[in-house]
């Protein structure tokens, strides 16, 4: 049973397209996150939701929009994709009474 | 503001040798510290965490880390490296009020036979 799952695992698309990445966790956690890992493997937080409410919104272009239909899901929609958006995107979740986060397998986005 | 610095982007050890991966942090509030491991083409797996309890923390796969406030360090060690330990290791700091993780730049561990 996968705790934090993401779809798709690989995503190849052209500049200017709009794409979505889905994330689901079956751990019963209240908080979910999106991180971006660049080509140098540096990880940076993008967004955080707690029980469907946005609580962290780092300096991310408006083209990125997270959506949380319920506390088990946090999707990431990206408009007008650019070459610089190519990266691995990780979803994570954590319970309210602990600070560690559990990560999904990642989605490798390649923009051509 | 919080930050994490991992000394050494690449560490190479022989199988059976001691593994030492260095991490220093900066935090204006009591930190929560973590080590994660990332195997090729996989997500991050939590190795261990420090959340203000015992300063010597034991994790999975024989790893442990010691929190030293005076040195603002949280170095990761393993007495005897195994080939399967070859991976990318990330140190991270979190604050209780936001929960977000601030990661170091990562250290690639190579284990030679």
Low-confidence ranges of chain A (pLDDT < 50): none
**B-chain residues within 8 Å CB-CB of A42?**
103, 105-106
pLDDT tens across B4-62, in order?
Answer: 999 999 999 999 999 999 999 998 777 899 999 999 888 999 999 998 778 899 999 99
Candidates A38, A13, A27, A12; CA nearest to A90 is A38
Instruction: Determine the pLDDT at residue B100.
Output: 84
B85/B47 Cα distance (integer angstroms): 12
Q: A33 vs B100: CB contact, 8 Å cut-off?
A: yes
Q: Identify the pLDDT of residue B33.
A: 93
With an 8 Å Cβ cutoff, are A102 and B100 in contact? Answer: no
Question: What sections of B1-96 are H helices per DSSP?
Answer: none
Quick one: pLDDT at residue A97?
Answer: 66
Query: What is the structure's pLDDT at B97?
Result: 67
């Amino acid at each position: 049973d996968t705790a934090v799952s993401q779809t798709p695992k690989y995503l190849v698309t052209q500049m200017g397209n709009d794409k979505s990445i889905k994330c689901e966790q079956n751990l019963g956690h209240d908080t979910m996150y999106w991180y971006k890992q660049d080509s140098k493997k540096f990880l940076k937080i993008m967004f955080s939701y707690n029980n469907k409410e946005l609580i962290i919104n780092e300096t991310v272009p408006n083209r990125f929009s997270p959506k949380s239909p319920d506390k088990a899901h946090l999707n990431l929609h990206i408009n007008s994709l650019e070459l610089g958006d190519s990266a691995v995107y990780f979803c994570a979740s954590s319970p309210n009474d602990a600070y560690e986060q559990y990560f999904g397998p990642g989605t490798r986005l390649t923009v051509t | 503001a919080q930050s994490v610095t991992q000394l050494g982007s690449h560490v190479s050890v022989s199988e059976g040798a001691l593994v030492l991966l260095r991490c220093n942090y900066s935090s204006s509030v009591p930190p929560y510290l973590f080590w994660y491991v990332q195997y090729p083409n996989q997500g991050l797996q939590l190795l261990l965490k420090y959340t203000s309890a015992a300063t010597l923390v034991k994790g999975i796969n024989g790893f442990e880390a010691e929190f030293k406030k005076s040195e603002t360090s949280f170095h990761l060690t393993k007495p005897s490296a195994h080939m399967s330990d070859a991976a990318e290791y990330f140190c991270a700091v979190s604050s209780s009020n936001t929960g977000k993780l601030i990661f170091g730049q990562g250290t690639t561990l190579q284990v030679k036979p």
